[in-house]
């Protein structure tokens, strides 16, 4: 439910067209067909009348219900950086919007 709500808010806040993406395989070369990505969404917007293409990734860690492990994020956690870079490369996107929800600590929204 949170993901659908976030998609709605992104449309409202930024006027961004957010589409849910299917799994995308990297490149046309069969040597790389093992490498794929399935983002939470793809975004297309106009910036100074130029097309701009991004990817959306949403993280809502459950932490096995142990809230003592939760802490507020001030940046994208390092464990998600390879995934972020892979998503942008595989989908051929210029930037990424990263949304992380930490329940009681609030949310983190970063555009990379």
The pLDDT value given to residue 68 = 73
The pLDDT value given to residue 61 = 72
Per-residue pLDDT of the chain (112 residues; tens, 9 = 90+): 456 776 777 677 666 677 777 778 887 667 767 888 888 888 877 777 777 888 888 887 766 777 677 777 778 889 889 999 999 998 899 888 888 776 555 565 666 5
Q: How many folded domains does the chain comprise?
A: 1
Question: Do the Cβ atoms of 95 and 44 come closer than 8 Å?
Answer: no
Residue at 3 is within a domain: yes
Residue at 66 is within a domain: yes
Residue at 56 is within a domain: yes
The pLDDT value given to residue 106 = 58
Give Cβ neighbours of residue 7 (< 8 Å, ≥ 6 apart): 18, 20, 41, 56
The pLDDT value given to residue 14 = 64
């Amino acid at each position: 439910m949170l993901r659908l709500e976030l998609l709605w808010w992104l449309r409202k806040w930024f006027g961004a067209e957010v589409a849910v993406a299917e799994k995308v395989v990297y490149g046309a070369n069969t040597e790389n067909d093992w490498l794929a990505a399935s983002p939470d969404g793809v975004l297309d917007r106009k910036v100074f009348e130029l097309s701009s293409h991004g990817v959306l990734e949403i993280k809502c860690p459950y932490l096995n219900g142990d809230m003592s492990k939760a802490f507020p994020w001030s940046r994208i956690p390092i464990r998600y950086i390879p995934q972020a870079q892979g998503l942008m490369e595989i989908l051929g996107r210029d930037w990424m919007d990263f949304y992380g929800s930490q329940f009681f600590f609030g949310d983190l929204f970063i555009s990379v």
